[in-house]
Structure 1
Amino acid sequence: MKYALFAVLGALSLSACAEAPKPAAEAKAPAGQAAAAQPAAAKAAAGTPDARAIEAIRVLNSRVTVERVGAAPLPGFREAIVAGQVVYVSDDGRYLFLPGPGGALFDTTAKKNLSEVALAGMRKEALKVIPASERIVFAPANPKYTVQVFTDVECGYCRKLHSEIAEYNRQGIAIEYLAFPRAGIGSQDFNKMVSVWCAPDRRKALTDAKSDHTVPNKNCKNSITMQYDVGQRVGLTGTPMILAADGTQLGGYVPPAALREALDKLATDGSAKPAATGPVDAVPATTAGGA
């Protein structure tokens, strides 16, 4: 996804991308403070693997500074330092690998996140185990798009998203809610979501729960544990998590108009705006790997 590439590489240098660079004459440090030292950009002879590595990084984000480039411990790749992070680029400049948690492999020629393509397919298959009857749906009469949203009744951004549910529907977007109690299985949060899913009117119960209105305690045969497990399988680290029909992750909280724009983009050319831009409420470390 083209926009995701820019977002990921842009995240390597958030301070540099926060605003456009100012001319030297304007970039003055506050009185009594020295100007911050800027990293020296790496240089390489044209046509060399080092030069191709630098160019590949700049293709994805022209604003970052490649501080160093050289031999990599991985055969066929060059190792570059960008804003204190290590990036590996194939000698021909086509493939770029970001290691570590949340890392990914990019095709710089196609401007495609190959890791996201693989994950999207996995997510689409994983979601199939959750029956349509177990999803809480808010939809317009004739939706243009349908997205799945892992939600939690306590998380702030989940509540913000739900407060705008009518506008998502006006944008032609149907929301299918899936349960992910961030506090873990057996928690008070979990029990609240069981009560919602066991309510005779799930839509009203979910709205009440996200508005701090009382939802009667109920228990029944439910799929909350299964939905929670699926959320972990698809890599959820925070709620909300918005997934397109093909499994592409579109973000955490994304405003209605921006989500429609991303879905239009995905439908026309297979790209979408960056997943990384949407704020989420993080899953506590004690439950992220299992209850």
Structure 2
Amino acid sequence: MKLMLFALLGAISLSACAQGPQSGATAAKAPGAQAASAGQAAPAGLAPRAAAGTPEARAIAAVHALNPRVTIEKVNAAPLPGFREVVVQGQVVYVSDDGRYLFLPGPQGALFDATTKQDLSEQTLARIRKDLLKAIPVSERIVFAPPNPKYTVSIFTDVECAYCRKFHSEIAEYNRQGIAVQYLAFPRMGLGSEDHKKMISVWCAPDRKKALTDAKNDRPLPARDCKNTVTMQYDIGQRAGLTGTPMIIAEDGTTVGGYLPPQRLREALDRLAHGGVAAPAGATDPVASTGG
């Protein structure tokens, strides 16, 4: 799952979300709540002071509901009507005046419901990804699957990236964990690159599974060309929001992140199946070109 609020402000983790939002009165009595008035910087480890029942108090409570250990430095009026601007450990998040919604700005921004612990932006994107992936039939994917898989993941992969290779080196264990892997092509060096040509050779090989394994292990790969969907898959990867490979997508369109060891990926999928969050983002190799 994308859920960039795992890395919210570099510190707030959804693994600490069991506690519900506090009331304004509770927030005002939190340790350090008397350190400074809202809008003034608080000493390290403390929170600004805010009167109970105010938007400032609710903003503090909403952030601390996610992680009570972070330092809230300032709470100010926001340029966005109906929100407070909260500075948390040097970064900015916007909290609605009722304390329910948190908006994380930036390229990977998200709108988060602090009450239900859901990334609302990710829910919308997951539906979009699920629809996008329907354009790539299973016949155009390279599939490694156990006899009766518990889960199926779609993975945008590259033959050169280190984390893609690490993932593939453990493919048998992912299958033993009950995970079917359906690989999709994403030559991260861009269209027309040598990387792109290698992936076309893989997709044009009579045995794609062997060709992909050989390519990821630097074994000789005969150059081939044919009518293929590599470029189309690359385009869909871009539209799905890919910024690095591997990109692991669950059946509902949720991104599980990048490389995760087999057991951790199974645990992440188990959590998703029970309505929880997946896991912190795994490791990826960044794409060198998004324009081709």
TM score, norm. by length of structure 2: 0.87
User: Would you say 1:55 and 2:61 are equivalent positions?
Assistant: yes
User: Is the Cα–Cα contact under 8 Å of residues 156 and 184 in structure 2 kept in the other structure?
Assistant: yes
Using the alignment, how far apart are the partners of 1:232 and 1:195 within structure 2? 21
Shift of 1:41: 2.6
Equivalent in 191, 206, 216 of residue 185 of structure 1? 191
User: Is the Cα–Cα contact under 8 Å of residues 141 and 182 in structure 2 kept in the other structure?
Assistant: yes
Shift of 1:216: 0.5
User: Is the Cα–Cα contact under 8 Å of residues 153 and 250 in structure 2 kept in the other structure?
Assistant: yes
Equivalent in 72, 89, 92 of residue 78 of structure 2? 72
User: Would you say 1:160 and 2:159 are equivalent positions?
Assistant: no
Q: Secondary structure at the match of 1:213?
A: coil
Correspondence 1:108-119 to 2 at 5 A: 108-119=114-125
Shift of 1:5: 6.4
Counterpart amino acid of residue 85 in structure 2: E
Using the alignment, how far apart are the partners of 2:286 and 2:146 within structure 1? 30
Listed as ranges, the gaps of 5+ residues in structure 2 are: 17-42
1:113-134 per-position Cα deviation (integer Å, ceiling 9, x unaligned): 0011011000000111111110
Shift of 1:70: 1.5
Using the alignment, how far apart are the partners of 1:75 and 1:177 within structure 2? 44
Correspondence 1:1-291 to 2 at 5 A: 4=3, 7-9=6-8, 11-12=10-11, 38=44, 41-274=47-280, 276=281, 278-284=282-288, 287-288=289-290, 290-291=291-292
Using the alignment, how far apart are the partners of 1:101 and 1:10 within structure 2? 13
Listed as ranges, the gaps of 5+ residues in structure 1 are: 18-36
Q: How many residues align?
A: 264
Shift of 1:103: 0.8
1:144-191 per-position Cα deviation (integer Å, ceiling 9, x unaligned): 000000000000000000000000000000000000001111100000
Using the alignment, how far apart are the partners of 1:10 and 1:163 within structure 2? 33
Structure 1 segments, 4+ long, off by >2 Å, are 3-6, 37-41
Q: Secondary structure at the match of 1:218?
A: coil
Using the alignment, how far apart are the partners of 2:109 and 2:9 within structure 1? 14
CA-based RMSD: 1.8
Using the alignment, how far apart are the partners of 1:10 and 1:138 within structure 2? 37
Using the alignment, how far apart are the partners of 1:242 and 1:38 within structure 2? 38
Greater displacement, 262-271 / 252-261: 262-271
Shift of 1:39: 6.2
User: Is the Cα–Cα contact under 8 Å of residues 9 and 89 in structure 2 kept in the other structure?
Assistant: no
Identity percentage of aligned residues? 67
Counterpart amino acid of residue 177 in structure 1: Y
User: Is the Cα–Cα contact under 8 Å of residues 201 and 223 in structure 2 kept in the other structure?
Assistant: yes
Counterpart amino acid of residue 282 in structure 1: P
Does the C-alpha gap of structure 1 residues 136 and 152 become closer, same or farther in structure 2, counting only changes over 3 Å?
A: same
Shift of 1:6: 5.3
